[in-house]
A and B are shown apart, each in its own frame.
Chain A
């Protein structure tokens, strides 16, 4: 119990730092630290799958994205700070938010004591999905439509980011061209870490059906490895209108839709898997899905096309 108290105090302390820090860069550093502390909180809440996602996606990729952005926007700090709202407004906002938090705390304490849960039902029906990890069973079987729509959401966010590019560079390459400095340090770590990362990513995706893990966590690690390689200049971003890239992005959701539609015939409902080979079907969905999500996440970090494909 003492550990939890210390952890919560740390989390709140780092969160206050993230809000109160004057410099955006420092605030983002605080945010990344907060993400790692939250990973510990998720482990304490007995949710290893979520701990993996929080550390890989919540503090890893989001932190990287925000770090890059705060570096680029550093010179716009001065203009923004003069619009800081007056002390009175800040006080009112503080009181309002404190009330909101207090209300939330009261509500959490009001939650009914025999907490209603779906765990028994999830475990009872898990045999039909052929999976071992109940969280993956919820993601891929019970609430498969959520996961499907969510991958389409990711794809749409990418289309939205690509639509920000000026017309003249459409079809070009996202992100600035970084040249590999052969004896540079970043190249060394990229050459060393990327293979390990790919191995870990595939392992985490593969083990997801029976143990904590899954395609989102695995895909995030694969995307992180691509981002590292592209930062080290080892690999360049693909052209935005390249057919191969578009296929890679769409193959995951397309296979998911296709197998979902075959569910009509084989198991009587959309996204229903016949019990005999449910696990095989889910795995055939998960492999291309991991590929598509990894590509989408990596390109979300890379940003809109900036360079015409010629150079």
Chain B
């Protein structure tokens, strides 16, 4: 029996077991207790995620855990390197924020068990467990099951209020997600057929640049792009994320879409560091660029606030994939030391915070006004000042204005583009920022215009919920104070980290 793992290994298991146990308890104890269980588990999950981050930072090496003492290739390993620790810390913070915000909308009323609160809290915990399983998973089929867990937890959230258009949006989302996961599985079986293992660490050692490896990675990447709603596969995202209730669309746009992106990064940078030659990375970058331009232009023309934010998600996902052509340049050998790697991950995290804050602000505005037509937003700035301010802060991060996390991420992408000599990505980043500025200003101008007659507020918005929205928006801003050089935490645990001398 090999030694099962590094010291903090059991934390990785806790990160998955805690939410799953919460789901089981909520189901058995019933809807009235689901909220209490979920809120009770949040501090515990937060401490586990940040303990993992601290251990990875302290030991300066990736955490490893062999489930059941079976070492790969037979058994399944969990592995948390700097990247997964950062994503787990960010997602635990975000889920706690969303949980606090959702207490207003999905509070459990006394009396018989209600449908929506039970389903929301159970699915929130499941998404958390699935995200942690994706971030720590190191076996391709185990990651497939984690992705399915995520899909089955996210799809019902879209049609939680049962309206007809959300049902068709949920069905389209499910069909795209299933198409994605079946392609991912097809790639995984080819890799197993060729190399005899599904463990990412072993695969990176055995993989050779041959047609079967390229075909497998191409299929898996296409599948993951379908789940991450990158440009050719983005059709399902806007109606799904706009139709979902506010806390649900916050978690869908903020975190659920990031998990497939995380797996594409894991696939390209960990499983096959030497393989992806330039053309494929350029293609991914081109798809990202198209997503940025197309998403932003369509967002400009939206009449409803939530659809505008959903199309802005399509655009911001494009930024994530700009990282591939810049970070994967064969000359330097270690793609991750360039700023693009840190820029891409920072963009993922800061977009999660900013987008969650904006969706929740839009939810509060829709609750207060009864509609979310942008034309009818006049006067809301005076009625809900904190919410509109939070929306503005989030928009600032999307535009990439200092001092926001979005600025640091886009600045790093810019410097990497210039350093790598691929200036066209710089043009796209700037154009995207400009267009984002366009649609954010569009909304703010309407919101801050003073209404002719006093605004009839349907329901009073408690300051507590607005505080959560402003806290998340400030989170996106605080990320702006990250130093403008490759973040050391994100480099920990890269496959051959020892090869590079000091961090430039």
Do A and B bind? yes
Q: Which residues of A contact B (CB under 8 A)?
A: 103-104, 106-108, 110-112, 115-118, 121-122, 125, 141-146, 149-150, 152-153, 155-157, 159-160, 162-167, 170-171, 241, 243, 246-247, 249-250, 253-254, 257, 260-261, 263-264, 267-273
B1-43 contacts to A, CB under 8 A, are: 1, 4-5, 10, 13, 16-17, 20-21, 23-24, 27-28, 30-31
Chain A residues positioned under 8 Å from B211 (CB to CB): 106-107, 110
B13 adjacent to A142 (CB under 8 Å): no
A107 adjacent to B212 (CB under 8 Å): yes
A157 to B114, CA, bound (A): 19
B160 adjacent to A145 (CB under 8 Å): no
A170 to B153, CA, bound (A): 19
* Smallest CB separation, A296 vs chain B (Å): 11
B215 adjacent to A270 (CB under 8 Å): no
* Smallest CB separation, B427 vs chain A (Å): 32
What are 14 sample pairs from A and B whose C-beta atoms fall under 8 A apart?
A110-B210, A146-B141, A150-B145, A152-B126, A152-B129, A153-B148, A160-B155, A163-B159, A164-B156, A165-B115, A167-B114, A243-B30, A247-B28, A250-B24
A257 to B75, CA, bound (A): 18
Are A268 and B69 CB-contacts (below 8 A) given A118-B74, A142-B74?
A: yes
A121 adjacent to B74 (CB under 8 Å): yes
Closest to B190 in A: A107
* Smallest CB separation, B74 vs chain A (Å): 5
B76 adjacent to A146 (CB under 8 Å): yes
A117 to B365, CA, bound (A): 58
Q: Which residues of B contact A (CB under 8 A)?
A: 1, 4-5, 10, 13, 16-17, 20-21, 23-24, 27-28, 30-31, 65-70, 73-76, 112-116, 119, 122-123, 126, 129, 133, 141-142, 145-146, 148-149, 152-153, 155-156, 159-160, 162, 167, 186, 190, 193-197, 210-212, 215
* Smallest CB separation, B47 vs chain A (Å): 18
* Smallest CB separation, B406 vs chain A (Å): 33
B27 adjacent to A250 (CB under 8 Å): yes
A145 adjacent to B142 (CB under 8 Å): yes
B4 adjacent to A268 (CB under 8 Å): yes
B146 adjacent to A149 (CB under 8 Å): yes
A149 adjacent to B69 (CB under 8 Å): no
A-B contact count (CB 8 A): 162
B115 adjacent to A167 (CB under 8 Å): yes
* Smallest CB separation, A233 vs chain B (Å): 27
Are A257 and B17 CB-contacts (below 8 A) given A146-B141, A246-B28, A246-B30?
A: yes
A112 to B206, CA, bound (A): 13
Chain A residues positioned under 8 Å from B215 (CB to CB): 103, 107
Chain B residues positioned under 8 Å from A247 (CB to CB): 28
B115 adjacent to A146 (CB under 8 Å): no
Residue in B70, B141, B160, B167 whose beta carbon sits within 8 Å of that of A141 in the complex: B70
A111 adjacent to B28 (CB under 8 Å): no
A270 to B65, CA, bound (A): 9
B74 adjacent to A269 (CB under 8 Å): no
A142 to B16, CA, bound (A): 18
Chain B residues positioned under 8 Å from A270 (CB to CB): 10, 13, 17, 65, 67-68
